[in-house]
Amino acid sequence: MNFKRNVYLKMKTLAEARDILFKAFSKLPPLASEELPVPDAVGRVLAGPVHARLSSPNFHLAAMDGLAVNAEISFGASAAAPRTLNVGQETFYVNTGHVLPPDTNAVIMVEDVNALDENRVEIEAPVFPWQNVRRVGEDIVATELLFPRNHVVTPYCVGALLSGGVFTVAVKTRPKVLIIPTGSELVDWRQIELKTFQPGQVLETNSFVLGKLIEKFGGTFRRHDMVVDDTSKIKAAITAAADADYQMILVLGGSSAGSEDFAKTAIVELGKIHVHGVTIMPGKPVVIGSVSTKPVFGIPGYPVSAIIAFEQFVQPLLQAFLGQPATPRETVDVRPTKKIASKLGVEEFLRVKMGEVRGRMVATPLPRGAGTITSITEADGIIRIPNHVEGINDSETVSAELLRPLPAIRKTVVIVGSHDNSLDVLADQLKAASSEFTLSSSHVGSMGGLMAIKRGVCHLAGTHLLDTEDGSYNISYLKKHLPETTVKLVHLVQRDQGLIVKKGNPKQIGGVADLSRKEVNFINRQIGSGTRILLDYKLKQTDTSAADINGYQNEEFTHMAVAVSVLSGAADAGLGIYAAAKALDLDFIPVVTEQYDLVVLPEFFKTDAFQILFEIINSHGFKQHIQALGGYDTKNTGKVIL
């Protein structure tokens, strides 16, 4: 079988691709309409203008509790010359909302009335016509325009429509989208047991994510049964959809730079390709085409690529079908916590964690892989790096699109530095203790955390830096690298570090010296991490050369990532904490018990957020939870060292 590899020779910039998209579909067929009761129309788009059928109020109504009168009979009344009125003849008691009696046009507030007896009252001030009265049509006048076509009905609109005598409205039907998941490797998560999950199989999730995004932006979707990688079968699914009443077709996973691009091939044979490849990352392989005048998209298979492609192309077209403008996200200026490199010629959508430190917003990059769905779920914002820029300096200010409300981001506790599983427990318990605050941790290694503290771009830094001269932890590094920065140092945990190996230790690794054996593949931690410093120290102690270790240059950023590398077979061993090995049922060879501390900015130490955090750290529940992870000692947890 002869496959031709895709090469994107005619890739478009994002701006060019969007321009092509909207020119190709500049005349969208109108959507049908349906009549709905007003309360059921919330969130829907009006198919036409809506006019009031009743005035509101429909009668003159009392706006206050008091006495209804014809204003003229009150003229001349004063404290010096009060006027007496007969109840039931010249004046009438009314409550707020009552219809005014005939021949009355004002209400005297009950506080301004002196009752002489059951039938007579005395007033000491006049009222003017229509004072304290809600006149007919004060709010709504019959026949006036309440809402124009393409208006989105909100809960507030319900009151206006019903008050104006409008009980049903015509709304546009939701645009229908067919989602066709493709790929021979896909399995349905609803029909599989995890214990039978095989290497090479992939849970099909993109159709559910994109389907809910379609609903969020006013559409409705149907999920086609999964289609194997077969052009004829994909073509059949597209053809059937093009002949049905769908407004749009999404082919998931059939767009790639690999040897086979089933979506492109199917669309070419059935219709027309408008765009194949866009200079964005993630999302580059997206395909925009048409079959029988209907938009057909080839959506990349990686989750983040699929989401970015949807948001940049499918979402705005969906909104155009409904007559709605594009909805740009709110933006805010941020300062990166570290330098960020980027590739020239590609516009990058960089997902970041954010928080406010010392009055300015800071942003820390999340993993950039297109398959890393947690880089979206954990992100507070997106920094878009233009295609003519090679990266961002840590001293410059850039704009970030917000994925969470700004007030919530301002309440985020920012931890940058070494990774530890106890931080996940701390984040969960902080959220349980206070819905106001959120903890966000980014893993850049212990030295990276100290540098972030020095530059004032985080509240806390996790660190476990071994002084190889005296065996102490952290304090000597603070004195050396932060000599002019006053900080607090709080002990979090003692933890066991060691070699994580496969269950049963098949290669019989006994210690650090065995890492130099040719048949052993190692996975390392990044430069600047406390674990890397510990490894290098132990290699020196055992007279083992890093150059002799297979995989010494291969790096991961967390203990769990190291454990996963061992579990998957990508490595035979890696240095990490016992809790990571236990979590994935791997074996563990102890190397050292080390100290993991939190470096705290002094001004943050005094805040409500830290006091809640400090209370949690010192609580029995937190310590008990940490001990259950395995490999931890909490007898000094919460102790303020500096």
How far apart (Å, rounded) are the C-alpha atoms in residues 297 and 241? 13
425 within some domain: no
**% of the chain with per-residue pLDDT over 90:** 88
Pair 421, 629: CB distance under 8 Å: yes
Beta-carbon contacts of residue 161 (< 8 Å; ≥ 6 apart): 38, 50, 146, 147, 153, 167, 169
Pair 563, 531: CB distance under 8 Å: no
Pair 617, 462: CB distance under 8 Å: no
CATH of the domain at 115: 2.170.190.11
pLDDT (average), residues 382-396: 93
Q: Residue 401 above 60 pLDDT? A: yes
Which of 10-24, 247-261, 272-286, 336-350 comes out lowest in average pLDDT?
A: 247-261
Residue 155: the pLDDT is: 98
Say whether both 625 and 555 belong to one domain. Answer: yes
Query: Half-sphere exposure of 82 toward its Cβ, with a 13 Å CA cutoff?
Result: 13
Q: Residue 9 above 60 pLDDT? A: no
Q: Residue 261 above 80 pLDDT? A: no
Q: Residue 7 above 70 pLDDT? A: no
Length of the chain: 642
Say whether both 252 and 308 belong to one domain. Answer: yes
pLDDT (average), residues 549-557: 95
Say whether both 145 and 72 belong to one domain. Answer: no
Which of 251-265, 281-295, 395-409 comes out lowest in average pLDDT?
A: 251-265
Crossing angle of the two packed helices 620-629 and 422-433, in degrees rounded to 10? 150
6 within some domain: no
242 within some domain: yes
Say whether both 285 and 300 belong to one domain. Answer: yes
1 within some domain: no
Residue 199: the pLDDT is: 83
3 pLDDT tier (thresholds 50, 70, 90)? very low
How far apart (Å, rounded) are the C-alpha atoms in residues 184 and 270? 22
256 pLDDT tier (thresholds 50, 70, 90)? low
- CA 305 to chain centroid, in Å, comes to 15
Q: Residue 4 above 90 pLDDT? A: no
Which of 255, 290, 321 is the last residue before a domain boundary? 321
Which of 321, 350, 365 is the last residue before a domain boundary? 321
Of the chain, the end-to-end C-alpha distance in Å amounts to: 69
Which of 74, 109, 134 is the last residue before a domain boundary? 134
CATH of the domain at 362: 2.40.340.10
Q: Residue 1 above 50 pLDDT? A: no
193 within some domain: yes
Q: Residue 430 above 80 pLDDT? A: yes
Say whether both 179 and 298 belong to one domain. Answer: yes
210 within some domain: yes
Residue 262: the pLDDT is: 86
Tell me the whole-structure pTM to 2 decimals. Answer: 0.88
pLDDT (average), residues 528-551: 95
Say whether both 316 and 386 belong to one domain. Answer: no
Say whether both 437 and 543 belong to one domain. Answer: yes
Say whether both 151 and 230 belong to one domain. Answer: no
CATH of the domain at 241: 3.40.980.10
- CA 294 to chain centroid, in Å, comes to 31
What is the tens place of the pLDDT at every residue in 469-500?
Answer: 998 999 999 999 999 889 999 999 999 999 99
9 within some domain: no
Beta-carbon contacts of residue 284 (< 8 Å; ≥ 6 apart): 8, 11, 257, 277, 278, 300, 305, 346
10 pLDDT tier (thresholds 50, 70, 90)? confident
Residue 616: the pLDDT is: 97
CATH of the domain at 166: 3.90.105.10
Residue 5: the pLDDT is: 47
Number of domains in the chain: 5
What is the tens place of the pLDDT at every residue in 183-197?
Answer: 989 999 999 888 888
Average pLDDT, the chain: 93
**502 sits in which H/E element:** none
What is the tens place of the pLDDT at every residue in 75-97?
Answer: 999 989 999 999 999 999 999 99
326 within some domain: no
What is the tens place of the pLDDT at every residue in 142-182?
Answer: 999 999 999 999 999 999 999 999 999 999 999 999 999 99
Q: Residue 257 above 60 pLDDT? A: no
Say whether both 456 and 389 belong to one domain. Answer: no
Say whether both 438 and 585 belong to one domain. Answer: yes
Residue 622: which domain range? Answer: 432-633
**% of the chain with per-residue pLDDT over 70:** 98
Say whether both 512 and 599 belong to one domain. Answer: yes
Say whether both 578 and 614 belong to one domain. Answer: yes
The pair of three-digit structure tokens given for residue 585, joined into one six-digit string: 């049922």
DSSP string for 420-481: -THHHHHHHHHHHH-TT-EEEEEE--HHHHHHHHHTT--SEEEE--B-TTTS-BSHHHHHHH
